[in-house]
Structure 1
């Protein structure tokens, strides 16, 4: 991987903010105005940079990190000398950063001790496929304000007017100029009442009555039906695992909030 100092410097600044100064270390990387910079801090940053794919561990990387840590220490000493560490906004930002670091450590430990199992992933995948169904529908719609207008449009369609032409008066500006086309989708992608309006139609058929949803009245046309193209479990396993992990963390947080005494 090509070594890019400018990009690396930004990465180092972000990573350095996540580390606290070690109180004990085998040796110092450098001593700046009497203040030691432990080598362990540089080692941690090297691991982070390499893990993020920013660069490979090399003498050049370590030298860049050393220069950055020295520069940061110089700037930190000057900032403290000028009293910025006592600035209320700075102190609040430091507290926020400290809180984030500690919470992230707790979350990481919780996830390690409560990993998502393959069985949970399979169950979520099965739930998704069942909800999605085995069919996809290509539908069009015309959205209007009231039932009377919807019935008038249905009457015009029965009289021979083209659905696509009438769609130009739809309140759905995103599809009005495209014949009301909603493209291919599964019924679960729509509100239940809307989905119920087209799943019983035959190809080319238009709803006999307006379908009401919270946004208005719809006239729906079914263009076609096909077998759903669902991804295999292995294709979406990482995404499902991540989603379930986030759910577990959210539930854990909710439990802690419920137990807390909040006044």
Structure 2
């Protein structure tokens, strides 16, 4: 956390570092901004420290953070130098962090090369090149307990009553209050008996009563359409992820084939060793 430690003080640095007077356009990540003994603290380290601050520090201007970050790095170095023996846990952590950061750098490079607009467009075209058109249905229905009730409801519709009004009056299903409208659905979304009836209706026609596991229905087909395909923009993130994963997997396979990779076999180690912190103390 960014803070000044009273014990160590927060006096302004009075170091004679030649690069402090260098022109701004001559500064690099290796430019030295401070020293603790023989240890140099560089602009690159300062930038990383800034990037790793908690989110709440994003509201502060750099002018308010600069001196505090330098002071923090100086204090950390003073404390680090005073540590007489580096615990093995720290060494293992640094090894893992280095491995992770280096792997992440290559992953980013692989992704940047593989995930291009052209690759995404090609993947989109390939995904939908041979997709068959699927008809979707927009239908309404009413649900009652008995065939007699269904016949009576159908008779009211045949006599001129609006289907939605009859559904609101008699339907016991959850869509009753909105006139029985089921919205758009594709084949396979409804129970087979219901889908068969809807598939054989003309738009605007009303079915005879039919039974499903839920009770007795009367249905009407409001509209049909060809199921719209997702757009490239809707699919972009998924396609990019797929391309990235495939590229990384291919590179991993290539790298693994070029080296000898040895893994433990079953029984070589007790899986519970991953919890044994005493091994690194």
Relative to the length of structure 2, the TM-score reads: 0.46
More helix by share: 1
Structure number with larger C-alpha Rg: 2
Relative to the length of structure 1, the TM-score reads: 0.48
